[in-house]
Amino acid sequence: MGTLIHRAYTAIRRAGAISPVSPGGYRFRRLGDGVSIAFPPGAIFGEQWIEIGDHTLIGERVSLSCGMMPGPDLGPASILRIGASCSIGRGSHIVAHQSIDIGDDVFTGPYVYITDQNHVYDDPDVPIGRQWPRNSPVSIGSGSWLGAGAIILPGTTLGRQCVVAGGAVVRGVFPDHSVVAGVPARRVRGYTPELGWHAPAGTLDVTSDTGMDRTRF
C-alpha cells in the first residue's frame, strides 16, 4: 500500500505541475520553454501580469501574485518578471503590485519573501491595516543567491551576483557582488579584482577567523 500511495502521489505531482503546455500555463503572460511550477502550488493569481523565463523552476507551495486580489485590471504591462534558469525555493512568496524584476540564474532557498508593497503608519489614529499601502519597485540582479527565509522589502535593488544571508531583512540599494546580512541587512562583504572578497572599510569581517567559506552564511 505504501508503494502504491507514493507512486500515486508522484503521478499527481507530475500531472498537477504548471508548464507552458498545461491549461494553467496559458493564463500567464509568458511561461518560457521548460518552465515548471511544482504541485501543489501556493496562491497564484494575476497570471496575465507574470512573465517567467526559459527553464526556470518554481518549487512547491510558492505563491506568485499580482495585485491585492484576483480580478482588478493592473494595466497593459507585466508587473512580475522572473528571468531564465532561476530556481525559487519551496514555500516562497513573491507578491507584486507595481514592479518586481528578478534576473537570470537567481536561486533562492525556501520560504523567501519578496514584495514591492508595504503597509504605512502615517496616520496614528487609523488602524495600520486600513491605511493605503505604499509601493516601491524591487530589482534582483542576475546570478544572485537569496538564503532561506530572507525578506526583500519594497525599494530594494540588488546588483548582479549578490548573496543574501538566510533570515536577512533587506531594504536599500546594494552594488554588484555584495554580501548582505542581518536585520536590518547591511553590506558585510564585497568584491574587487585587486582585493578579492573583502569586508567594506569600517566593517568587521566576522568570518575571517572561523575557517568558514567567507562568501556563505
Q: For 39-90, what is each residue's pLDDT tens digit?
A: 999 999 999 999 999 999 999 999 999 998 888 889 999 999 999 999 999 9
Q: What is this structure's pTM?
A: 0.89
Q: Is residue 119 among the annotated active site residues?
A: yes
Helices within the chain (DSSP H only): 2-16
Which amino acid type is present at position 41? P
pLDDT mean across residues, the chain: 91
207 located within any domain: no
Find where cell 543574501 sits. Answer: 164
pLDDT classification of 210: cutoffs 50, 70, 90: very low
Domain tally for the chain? 1
Q: Residue 148 sits in a domain of what CATH number? A: 2.160.10.10
pLDDT confidence of residue 12:
87
Question: Comparing C-alpha atoms, which of 67, 148, 176, 52 is closest to residue 115?
Answer: 67
pLDDT classification of 203: cutoffs 50, 70, 90: low
Boundaries of domain holding 79: 17-198
How is residue 211 written as a grid cell?
A: 575557517
Least confident of 15-19, 160-164, 180-184: 15-19
How is residue 108 written as a grid cell?
A: 533562492
Q: Which of 6, 55, 97, 119 is catalytic?
A: 119
189 located within any domain: yes
146 located within any domain: yes
